[in-house]
Amino acid sequence: MGASAKLQIDYPRLADIRHQPAAWWHDVLALVHYAHESEPAADALPEVPAAHVMMPVLAGHDGSVEIWRLAGPMDSGRHGRVQYRRSERLLFAALSIAEQEFAEANGDGQTHALRRATRAAYQELFGALAGLGFPHPLRIWNVVPEINGQTEDGERYWHFNGARQDAFLGVRREISGNVPAASALGSPHAGPLTVYCIASARAPITLENPRQCNAWEYPSQYGPQSPTFARGCIESDPAQTLFVSGTSSIVGFETAHAGDVRAQTRETLRNIDAVLGAANEHLGAERFALERLSYKVYVRRPEDLELIERDLRDAIGPEARALFLKADICRRDLLVEIEAVGS
């Protein structure tokens, strides 16, 4: 049951789903709640664990949620600190960890706290995936407080990357080639480190972008340990869902069009189109196209929203399904990041 069914995404208001009957939730695989720091969490919802992300919605309604639906039956539970919900085909898992839990008593260990929190989060996540029988993450989302912050020995994103790589190696996972699609975005300082994913019992088909250097081969100017993610992946199930990683205006390994948000948006869409080309080539058919994807758009400066949205809809069409969020992006000179899903 559920084989070859499409994985569907919707972005309703939290207020509109709080009082839905139990039957409405039967095919909900995942729930992600986007909100300002001051907004209440999306709790007290029937049986469905949620990832709570401190990113305000820029276009649409405050308190929006992301709903992933898939044919059931579903069951939910906890594996240590990891909340999960699963069908026979896919699993959604999420956890949040406060860095303060790992801070040194003398208060000068910001770098070590982030690294220890990241390693703990990934160790717990990988333990849950293995224990629940879904060992292959297809897509991982990372929400890192103050991702662009500077520490005494480098950027916080660099330390996150190093700890993530250490966690992969610690459980003998590959750190190049056969790695999941992913993104890492920044949230306010007050928030926790949040990691959530969609995983499968079967290894995915990983994809790279011929216009870009593989992320795990970035030169050391972008950090002593490289990021661990593929540019995209295709679910091995006959449904062949495509997950496109968070994508920005990077050509080769360098940021293109620094300071020009419109040029960065267009370059980002060219990069996504290149990943679609790689996916279609692998499948031997024109399965995926820009106008048939669902998008999440991360905007560094809210005043750029109108320009970004205009260029997105010019390229994809006025009916493009997109959620726009305010977030910091992994490099300071990147103004926009876009991810996508296609079924």
Q: What sections of the chain are H helices per DSSP?
A: 14-17, 110-132, 156-170, 261-283, 305-316
CA angle 19, 22, 26 (to 5 degrees): 125
For residue 317 the two structure tokens come to 């069409």
DSSP structure class, residue 176: S
Q: Measured on CA atoms in the order 27, 32, 35, 40, is the torsion positive or negative?
A: positive
Taking the C-alpha atoms of residue 108 and residue 105, their distance in angstroms, rounded to an integer, is 8
Q: Can you tell me whether residue 204 is helix, strand or coil?
A: coil
Q: Can you tell me whether residue 327 is helix, strand or coil?
A: coil
Provide, for the chain, the percentages of residues in helix, strand and coil under a 3-state DSSP scheme, each rounded to the nearest 5.
30, 30, 40
Place of tokens 């590959």: 174
Residues 204 and 234 sit within 8 Å (Cβ to Cβ): yes
Contacts of 263 by beta carbon, 8 Å cutoff, 6+ apart: 249, 256, 257
Q: Is 319 labeled as catalytic in the residue annotation? A: no
Instruction: Kindly name the residue from 66, 99, 337, 339 that is annotated as catalytic.
Output: 337
Cα atoms in the 13 Å half-sphere on the side-chain side of 302: 7
Nearest to 270 by CA among 194, 325, 212: 212
Report, as residue numbers or ranges, the catalytic residues. Answer: 337
